[in-house]
Amino acid sequence: MVPADRNAPEQAADLRRHARERLPDYLVPSVFVAVPALPLTVNGKVDRAALPRPEDLDGTGAAPPATDTEHAIARFVCDLLEVTDVGRRVDLFDLGWHSLLMTRLAQRIQERFGVEVPLPELFLEPTIEHIAALVDAGTPGVATTAAITPVDRGRYVGQRAADGAVRLPTAITAVRPTP
């Protein structure tokens, strides 16, 4: 974006809010970069190769992680986003985060801390601070999904022969219970 004045950070936040109100989430740019003017080719078109690289991906200006859990999660996020630093209160989706990275983060949290944090909880407030609080509040080794239980295969129609083949009956009649 080319700001009209030097108040670019506030304009970027306003522009992001404006875009979120009118566009689906996947169309809202993850990063806004302020430039003094758009570089043009000799034909008058925007020279994309001459545009500056987004440097705002590192979440600078935000508070650094405070606890050991926040530091560990910040390292996971930095590794997944391929950035050097991320603030504890920065919205991860503003940095280019997406749902696939969130599932990878959930897997790393499970491996490192032994805590299974439900994915919907991670999307409610996608910040290092909130995710660390969820991990600290979680109980190690407790799964949030139902356990898989074996099924009684004897209830199925068909008998297994000695050779392992399943023998189905020649006719199946439905028996309706009497009221």
Provide the 10 A C-beta neighbour count for residue 73.
27
Mind listing the pLDDT tens digit for each residue in 27-85? 877 677 777 888 999 999 999 888 877 654 444 446 788 899 999 999 999 999 888 88
Asked whether the beta carbons of 94 and 60 are under 8 A apart, the reply is: no
In a domain, 124, yes or no: yes
Query: Looking at residue 57, what is its pLDDT?
Result: 45
Show the tokens assigned to 19.
Answer: 């875009």
Domain count, the chain: 2
Q: What's the pLDDT tens digit per position in 107-140?
A: 999 999 988 888 888 888 888 989 999 999 885 5
**In whole angstroms, how far apart are CA 121 and each of 14, 23, 30, 117, 142?**
27, 24, 21, 7, 16
Is residue 17 located within the same domain as residue 43? yes
3-state percent helix, strand, coil for the chain, nearest multiple of 5: 40, 5, 55
Same domain, 60 and 130: yes
Question: Mean pLDDT throughout 3-8?
Answer: 60
Compute how many other C-beta atoms are within 10 angstroms of the C-beta atom of residue 2: 10
What is the pTM (predicted TM-score) of this model?
0.49
Q: What CATH number is associated with residue 25? A: 3.30.300.30
pLDDT for 5 equals 64
Residues 50 and 112 in one domain: no
Residue 67 in domain: yes
Give the model's pLDDT for residue 60.
45
Same-domain status, 72 and 129: yes
Residue bearing the bigger pLDDT, 103 or 5: 103
70 shares a domain with 7: no
Clarify whether residues 17 and 60 are in a common domain: no
Tell me, what's the pLDDT at 175?
Answer: 63
The predicted structure's pLDDT at residue 156: 60
Phi, psi of 136 (to 5 degrees): -65, -30
My answer on whether 134 and 60 are in the same domain is yes
Domain match, 68 and 40 both: no
Q: Are residues 14 and 92 in the same domain?
A: no
Q: Containing domain of residue 65, as a range?
A: 56-145
Q: The domain that contains 117 carries what CATH number?
A: 1.10.1200.10
Q: What is the mean pLDDT of residues 165-169?
A: 70
Judgement on whether residues 25 and 84 belong to the same structural domain of the protein: no
Average the pLDDT over 155-169 and give the result. Answer: 69
